[in-house]
Amino acid sequence: MSEVISRKSEGTEYEVVIGLEIHAQLLTDTKIFCGCSTRFGSGHNTQTCPVCIGMPGVLPVLNRRAVEFVVKTGLAMNCTISPYSRFARKNYFYPDLPKGYQISQYELPICGHGYVDIVTDGVERRIGLTRIHMEEDAGKNIHQKDGSLVDLNRAGVPLMEIVSEPDIRTPKEASAFMKKLRAILRYLGVCDGNMEQGSLRCDANVSLRLVGAEDLGTKAEIKNINSFRFVEKALEYEIKRQVNILREGGRIIQETRLWDSSAGITVSMRSKEEAHDYRYFPEPDLVPIEVSREWIDEIRAGLVELPDEKRKRYTEEFGLPDYDAGMLAEERAVAKWFEEAVRLGGKPKAVSNWMMSEFLRLLNETGREISEVPLTPACLVDMLKLMDNGTISGTIAKTVFEEMFHSGKEPGVIVKEKGLVQITDTSEIEKLIDEVLAANPAEVERYRSGETKLQGFFVGRIMKASKGKANPKLVNELLRKKLS
Ligand code: ADP
Ligand code: MG
Ligand code: ZN
């Protein structure tokens, strides 16, 4: 599945190599080293204290929950958890970093050597994780016409950085990897995955090398990408840029670049020569993090079933196609909805079909989350029963479903209110058939002289005349009789 770019004129080919660094904001109520709230969208500098604004003489105290969340993530991503790790100071000056250093981890991260599996175009690949470490977020500079302001609400918000091995080979795989991480983080409840608010963002590293080469080429790093689409677009652009340079006999310089989403290009931010020397050293104000075997076991025992395991179970237990199972398992709320409907007696295949088609379509059209709509699994199951016992037809069910989606009303109520009960009374159906036949004498003539494929035409007219309520099986039977 690796992306190979031909350099036909000279018979050489390049292979794309990508590694991602993902920053995820941890869903703790308070910051990583103080008790300030992490809530998003509060008034500027209202969630700050001497610790997170970097006053001298204060001491950080580590948030235990943040450690728990990172260990949980590490376990879910098949990492080894270090029994002993520590924080390090990353020194640099920037107005949104009043201490003059960020507390991060460097040579001893809390998690190492994991992996996640991704599927693109039906092919599964394993992407290695180098490490997961903890760090604090910086504040936010707000630039205005008459000057710049600093909001430190975000300073000290706990982050984890998940670093992949350079195992990714295409832009599509990069976004699949990011999607997979987001799904796992949301399942675990350790990050809300909200990319617009910056809770999940990524730096994408990319280089090219000749096919078959062992050594990695020189990479460029594209900073702070905040959508799946942008990670693909930015990488596609960057790969083309690098190919063009190499084709012309040029050399890639190691640099940090920015993705300009409105122009659809990456632009240079700084080269390696201008890169910071962060002068990392162990953080003297914090004791090392010790994670006991017992604590790891306890966290492991509390892990929920993850999307991949669910997908597998849905295919094995319910016989769902892999694609459908994957879609249903991707979001925890969707999976929960599905499982609840099945628990209430819905046939897994039927439930899945309605969720995969009508439900997803309506969610997409309205831009809503499954948790925001009033439709309950119980209502879908009731509707399926009404279909099974012939009260409503499949066509009518679509109308009922849409109404349930918007109002949350029970299907029985909707059927009554709207008079949607299926017509199974043969005399009533025969009357409709007679009307339609009388209105289309030419077609009747043609049918009788052998053009039997007109059956569909008549059925369509009759169903329409019944406003979709006639039982289609009866319509077909009675119609055939009448025409013969
Ligand atoms: P840096 O020191 O520049 O931050 P790292 O070695 O820490 O680089 O790697 C950062 C990320 O870049 C990782 O995800 C890694 O897999 C990826 N990476 C490293 N070297 C390359 C390369 N030559 N091409 C593509 N990705 C790379
Ligand atoms: Mg790096
Ligand atoms: Zn604080």
Cα Dmax for the chain? 99
Collapsed DSSP state (helix, strand, coil) of residue 45: coil
Which of 16, 18, 219, 270, when mutated, tests ligand 1's pocket best, judged by the most ligand atoms within 8 Å of its CB? Answer: 219
User: Tokens 């796992």 — which residue?
Assistant: 184
Chain centre distance of CA 116: 15
Contact between residue 38 and residue 78 where contact means Cβ atoms under 8 Å apart: no
Q: For residue 392, count CB atoms less than 10 angstroms from its CB and return exposed for 0-12, middle for 13-18, buried for 19 or more.
A: buried
User: Tokens 């109002």 — which residue?
Assistant: 407
Around ion ligand 3, residues with a beta carbon closer than 5 Å are: 34, 36, 49, 51-52
In degrees rounded to 5, what are phi and psi of residue 147?
145, 180
Residue 66 Cα to ligand 1 midpoint, Å, equals 26
Q: Which residues contact 296 (CB under 8 A, 6 or more apart)?
A: 71, 75, 81
Tokens of 373: 């709509």
Tokens of 441: 């004498």
Contact between residue 410 and residue 382 where contact means Cβ atoms under 8 Å apart: yes
Nearest ligand 1 atom to the CA of 207 is: 24
Tokens of 309: 């395991």
- b/e sequence 201-223, b meaning 16+ C-beta within 10 Å: bbbbbbbbbeeeeeeebebbbbb
In degrees rounded to 5, what are phi and psi of residue 29?
-75, -35
Q: What is the pLDDT of residue 4?
A: 61
Residue 109 Cα to ligand 1 midpoint, Å, equals 16
Residue 198 Cα to ligand 3 midpoint, Å, equals 20
Q: What is the pLDDT of residue 307?
A: 93
Q: What domains can be seen in the chain, in order of their start residue?
A: 4-298 (no CATH), 307-418 (no CATH), 426-483 (1.10.10.410)
Tokens of 273: 């020569």
Residue 125 Cα to ligand 2 midpoint, Å, equals 23
Closest CA to 355 of 296, 373, 210: 373
- b/e sequence 300-339, b meaning 16+ C-beta within 10 Å: eeeeeebbbebbeebbeebebeeebbbbbbbbbebbebbb
Q: What is the pLDDT of residue 122?
A: 82
Q: Which residues line ligand 1 (CB under 6 A)?
A: 17-21, 163-166, 205-207, 216-217, 219
> From atom 8 of ligand 1, which residue's Cα is the shortest distance away?
205
Q: What is the pLDDT of residue 9?
A: 45
* Cα–Cα distance, 384 to 381 (Å, whole number): 5
Contact between residue 103 and residue 283 where contact means Cβ atoms under 8 Å apart: yes
Question: Which ligand is nearest the CA of 131, by number?
Answer: 1
Which of 205, 231, 277, when mutated, tests ligand 1's pocket best, judged by the most ligand atoms within 8 Å of its CB? Answer: 205
Q: What is the pLDDT of residue 71?
A: 98
Tokens of 483: 């025409």
In degrees rounded to 5, what are phi and psi of residue 247?
-65, -35
Q: What is the pLDDT of residue 423?
A: 82
- Kindly state the DSSP code that residue 91 receives in the 8-state scheme: E
> From atom 7 of ligand 1, which residue's Cα is the shortest distance away?
163
Residue 205 Cα to ligand 1 midpoint, Å, equals 6
Residue 203 Cα to ligand 2 midpoint, Å, equals 8
User: Tokens 């982050």 — which residue?
Assistant: 159
Bridge-based pairing state of the strands 255-260 and 220-225 = parallel
Contact between residue 18 and residue 205 where contact means Cβ atoms under 8 Å apart: yes
**Count of beta carbons in the 10 Å neighbourhood of residue 196:** 8
* Cα–Cα distance, 117 to 295 (Å, whole number): 26
* Cα–Cα distance, 379 to 376 (Å, whole number): 5
- From first to last of the 484 residues of the chain, give the pLDDT tens digit: 456 665 444 546 899 999 999 999 999 999 999 999 999 889 999 999 999 999 999 999 999 999 999 999 999 999 999 999 999 999 999 999 999 999 999 999 999 999 999 989 888 899 999 999 999 999 999 999 999 999 999 999 999 999 999 999 999 999 999 999 999 999 999 999 999 888 999 999 999 999 989 999 999 999 989 999 999 999 999 999 999 999 888 899 999 999 998 889 999 988 877 767 899 999 999 999 999 999 999 999 999 999 999 999 999 999 999 989 999 998 889 999 999 999 999 999 999 999 999 999 999 899 898 989 999 999 999 999 988 887 888 888 999 999 999 999 999 888 888 777 778 888 888 898 999 999 999 999 899 888 888 889 999 999 888 888 888 888 888 898 888 7
* Cα–Cα distance, 234 to 259 (Å, whole number): 6
Residue 102 Cα to ligand 1 midpoint, Å, equals 21
DSSP secondary structure string, 353-400? HHIIIIIHHHHHHHT--GGGS---HHHHHHHHHHHHTTSS-HHHHHHH
Question: Which ligand is nearest the CA of 22, by number?
Answer: 1
